[in-house]
Structure 1
Amino acid sequence: MHNTSLKLAATKGIIWSAVDKFAVQFGQFVVSILLARILVPEDFGLIGMLAIFIALSQTFIESGLGIGLIQRQDSTDVDFSTVFVFNLAVSSFFYLLLFIAAPFIAMFFNQPQLTDLIKVLGLNLLIIALAIVQRTKLTIAIDFKSIAKSNVIGMVVGGVFGVIAARSGYGVWALVIQTLLGSLATSVSLWVFSNWSPSIAFSKKSFKSLFGYGSKLLIAGLYAQILNNVYNICLGKFYPTASLGYYTRAKSFADLSAGTVVSVTLQATFPILTAVQNDKEKLVSIYSRLIRMSAFIIIPLMTLIALLAKPIVILLLTEKWVSLIPLLQWMVFARIFFPMSALNMNLLNAVGRSDLFLKVDLYKLPLTILAMVITIPLGIKAMIIGHVVTSALAFLINAYLPGKFYGYGPIQQLKDMVPFFIATIGMAISVFIMSNFIDNLVAQLFLGPLLGLVTYLFICWLLKLEELIEVWELVLKFKIKLGF
């Protein structure tokens, strides 16, 4: 791919990926607020108990094969059909497994209603599996416009029916309805937009080759899902169901921001990084710019959420969620290095080193286990503070190998982030002063983001940061694209 076409594809991909993620995340944010105002923390806690079982099953279904298709660059139709057949077979197996295990899971948590919940919610595995290859095809073609449309359709369908079910008194089942109908609408849309239909073909040679790459990602994915959800198991088993509901909401709010930045950058740039994996200079140039741009966005955003946690929770979710405030304030700082860490790991996948991806993930295991042993007996707040410490250390570990191979390691990355931390400190001071002079929560919620944004951008302008110019250029290109 020529330099001009590569840059154009990257810009277009980032724009549409951003539209996708921000539109979907904003929609889901609105829906989650509406559901939280209607439902109770216990409802979210029940779904949280099932999260690890669904997540592990989905990881097995994907098995890293979709990423393998993208990384290979010369995948054939037989390769795509092989992955489709595999996904369908594995999803059927794991749904059957969850169906059989449902009573035992309910018994473990001492929550009888989980039996029916997991039997129905497990159908989502089959729905998602049917469209994994279609999404992969669109990603390889850098057709993020079609992916965006599919995701928005799914978000709207799931959100509308979920809220209707909640208002109709369905309780926790409203969350199940939202998930299933949203996934179904997304999958159908991906089939329509991808214009690809599978053949019932399965090549052992193709599978062996793809699984050789994807197996490391599978192990790393299983490890990551266990660590991400093991707290749900502990809270669900040893703490009241409402406590798990508060924890999952805090995590959801934090992931809404950090996860959006990660999704935009990883989805849009993985095929681009793969395309230039043999050009070290160009690879490092793109990768370092992504690190700085992610820091430019995520550091002030997470800090602003922490500063305005009280009006956000009380006004949007009502007083019944007030216990969420301190948890949210700590959780957003636990996610502040998440996008940069993910980019460092994504680079290893893009250059075909899924083996190193796995090794780096495993190196972090002792830290996570130590944090769990220390904090779980101390309560939810202590657990989240443990997240803050381990996430910062994880960033340093994740950045080590890129530094060794490409000369852009943790020290260089942190140096590049210093201006953004300086601008964020200035922003935080202005918002903190405003909050202490204005007691009205509505005024805080509206003035805080406005004052914070103006202060942050002004300091970035004083520091003459290139990222400010790049964002402005992206905005102008998007306006031109839309005909404004």
Structure 2
Amino acid sequence: WNLANLFLTRGASTIFMLFLARMLAPDAFGLVAMATVVFELANAFVNSGLGAALIRSKSVSDADLNTVFFTNLGLSLAAYTTIFISAPFIATFYSQLELAALVQTMGLVVFINASKIVQIAVFSRDMDFKTQMKANTLATVVSGVLAVIVAYQGWGVWSLVVQMLSQAVVSALVLWMASNWRPSWQFSMESFSRLFAFGRNLLAEGLLSVAYQNSYILVIGRFFSAELTGLYFFAKKINNLVSKQLTGAVQKTTFPALATLQDDNATLKYKYRQIMQLMMFLIAPIMMLLAALAPTLISLAFDEKWQGAVPYLQLLCIVGMIFPLHALNMNLLNVKGRSDLVFKVGLVKKMVNLTMLFLAIRYGVLEIVISQVFATFLALFPNTYFSNKLIGYSLDEQVKDVIKPICAAVLGGASACYLAGEFQAHQAVTLILSALVGSGVYIVASFLIKAEGALILWGQVSKRLGY
């Protein structure tokens, strides 16, 4: 159901983004990107890791659920108050006066998201991802339709704000209607202390992660134009449609199940290796094909004004291909209950990455994105250190688990890129044929070199078919 959620919501999001990109200029996306930095920081603060603590707990009481619910509402009030007051200063920082009203309006999403954290935790504990899929899909479709309608009416950048607000509202409404849990006037300091003992490190890491992930937007928005910010933000959104969303869906599904194995290191390692191998088998070819066919794709789907996003997207595809290694290692630390290590590892790698970012500012946006690629590889060292300490899953083993699909994906991407450059036909035909050839080369190469993810997937398919 998580995969269905992924394909339905991301597919719909992609379609609506196509329409909006045709009607809006890059600077509109740039303004929303600048405002999103503030919103995501507030959202991380409101979540505070308590939702993850509920999911991970072996048992939860009604007092636990009520405590988390009212804590999140209180934090959301504090967060929005801060956002509202600081909005004019944020607009001045970016030299974009229109940002003040955008930030104050978008900040309302913090309240809405805070209201559904407990509902999501309850559904996740029950392994009920079908309901979450329905909520997210309906919210994506409704918000996308509304955004396209108001964009057509000339609302400009505000159409993106409408999309964000309506998506949060519809999702929250569906989750509340589907859930039997309702809050009661109850707050337990014992529950708060126990859950926050785990969640506080996730809060710190969450704030650091959001600050780091949006530092590129912040820097580009501050030192460069809104148009360049929009092009980078646009490339990042396309990249995240595949890598982060697919990885997030797998993490969300496996976290409750793997938490039951937290005391069995041998089984935990075996399961994580399988997940890593399967994730890379799926993500590596998609990212390499996207990088190879980015010029044709952007030219076909978008206006000429978006061509500047192509080199950013190609480089970010490398970041996206490596992302599962980072995410799954962090997920492992959470499964083991070591949120303190999540914070420490996150702090180290972000210090290194931010150093590289600030060194690249003087050279330009392209160089900033290149520094992001190098930082992604450097971050593997601290990310895998404690995985080795806790369950013996070392960096060497992880590289061996992912190198085969990466090599096959590079070969498939190169084949698609060559065909796209040589084939003389309509761009849509070229794109489809190149993608098919690249995919075919990847699959054949994966089986020839016996990539573990391919063998695992084939074994499951054969079992289902009765072979």
Common topology (TM > 0.5): yes
Partners of 1:402 and 1:438 lie apart in 2 by: 46
State the partner residue of 2:437.
451
**Cα distance between partner residues in 2 of 1:418 and 1:85:** 46
Q: Does 1:413 align with 2:410?
A: no
- Partner of 1:75, secondary structure, is coil
Question: What CA distance in whole angstroms lies between the structure 2 residues aligned with 1:337 and 1:402?
Answer: 16
Q: Aligned pair in 2 of structure 1 residues 219, 48: CA closer, same or farther (>3 Å)?
A: same
Of the three residues 74, 84, 94, the one matched with 2:59 is: 74
- Is 1:381 equivalent to 2:366 in the alignment? yes
Is 2:311–2:366's contact at 8 Å kept on the other side of the alignment?
A: yes
Structure 2 CA distance for aligned equivalents of residues 103 and 415 of structure 1:
51
C-alpha distance after superposition, 1:108-145 (max 9, x if no partner): 22212112111211111111111110011000111111
The residue type paired with residue 355 of structure 1 is: D
Structure 2 residue aligned with 1:83, among 44, 64, 68?
68
1:338 has 2:323 as partner: yes
Query: What is the CA-CA distance between 1:476 and the residue it aligns to?
Result: 8.2
RMSD value over aligned CA atoms? 1.7
The amino acid of 1:83's aligned partner reads V
Task: Decide whether aligned partners of structure 1 residues 222 and 342 sit closer, same or farther in structure 2, where only a CA change above 3 A counts.
Answer: same
Q: Is the 8 A contact 1:22 1:260 kept in 2?
A: no
1:319-468 equivalence runs, <5 A = 319-440=304-425, 441-468=427-454
Q: Which residue number corresponds to residue 255 of structure 2?
A: 270
Aligned with residue 7 of structure 2, among 5, 8, 22: 22
> How much does 1:477 deviate?
9.2
1:187 to 152, 172, 176: 172
Change in Cα spacing, 1:358 to 1:253, as seen in structure 2 (3 Å) is same
1:463 partner amino acid: I
Which range is displaced more, 161-170 or 327-336? 327-336
Whether the 8 Å contact between 2:293 and 2:417 is mirrored in structure 1 is no
Secondary structure in 2 aligned to 1:162? helix
Q: Secondary structure at the match of 2:321?
A: coil
Alignment of 1:231-310 (within 5 A): 231-310=216-295
For residues 139 and 308 of structure 1, the distance between their equivalents in structure 2, rounded to whole angstroms, comes to: 37
Q: How far apart, in 2, do the equivalents of 1:177 and 1:295 lie?
A: 35
Match of 1:13 in 2: none
Q: Deviations over 1:361-405 (max 9, x none)?
A: 111133112211211111111011011001111123211111122
Residues 67-216 of structure 1: pairs in structure 2 closer than 5 A:
67-216=52-201
Query: Partners in 2 of 1:106 and 1:374 — Cα distance?
Result: 25
Query: Equivalent residue of 1:337, what SS?
Result: helix
The letter for the 1-side match of 2:457 is V
SS in 1 for 2:337: coil
| Cα contact 1:334–1:385 (8 A) shared by 2 | no
Q: What is residue 10 of structure 1 aligned with on the other side?
A: none
**CA displacement at 1:149 relative to structure 2:** 0.7
Contact 2:142 / 2:166 at 8 angstroms: preserved in 1? Answer: yes
What secondary structure, in the 3-state scheme, does the structure 1 residue paired with 2:214 have?
helix
Counterpart contact for 2:29–2:157, Cα < 8 Å: yes
Q: Given that residues 158 and 181 in structure 1 are in contact (C-alpha distance below 8 angstroms), is that contact kept between their aligned partners in structure 2?
A: yes
- For 1:49, the aligned partner's letter is M
Q: Choose from 31, 34, 37 the match for 2:22.
A: 37
Go from structure 1 to structure 2 and tell me whether the alpha carbon gap of 1:449 and 1:479 turns closer, same or farther (over 3 Å shift). Answer: farther
Identify if the C-alpha distance between structure 1 residues 151 and 438 changes in structure 2 by more than 3 Å, giving closer, same or farther: same
Does 2:49 correspond to 1:64? yes
Q: Which amino acid aligns with 1:426?
A: L
Cα distance in 2 for residues equivalent to 1:278 and 1:99: 45
How far apart in 2 are the matches of 1:477 and 1:51?
A: 45
CA contact 2:292–2:414 (8 Å) conserved in 1:
no
Distance 2:407 2:230 in 1: 35
Once the two structures are aligned, what percentage of the paired residues are identical?
A: 35
Partner of 1:6: none
> Which of 220, 224, 228 is the aligned partner of 2:213?
228
Could you say what secondary structure the match of 2:18 adopts? helix
Please state if 1:312 is matched with 2:292.
Answer: no
Deviates more, 1:232-241 or 1:63-72: 232-241
**What is the number of equivalent residue pairs in this alignment?**
465
**Counterpart of 2:411 in structure 1: which amino acid?**
G
- Post-superposition offset of 1:479: 10
How far apart are 1:473 and its partner, in Å? 6.3
3-state SS of paired residue (1:335)? helix
Partners of 2:226 and 2:255 in 1: CA distance: 39
- Gaps in structure 1 of 5+ consecutive residues: 1-15
Contact 2:333/2:341, CA 8 A, preserved across alignment: yes
Q: In structure 2, how many angstroms separate the alpha carbons of the residues matched to 1:475 and 1:380?
A: 44
Secondary structure of 1:383's counterpart equals: helix
- Aligned-pair CA distance for 1:81: 0.6
- One-letter amino acid of the counterpart of residue 123, structure 2: L
Q: Matches of 2:174 and 2:364 in 1, distance apart?
A: 43
Change (3 A) 1:477 1:28: farther
Alpha-carbon shift at residue 464 of structure 1 (Å): 3.6
Distance 1:19 1:314 in 2: 29
Separation of aligned partners in 1, 2:452 and 2:285: 16
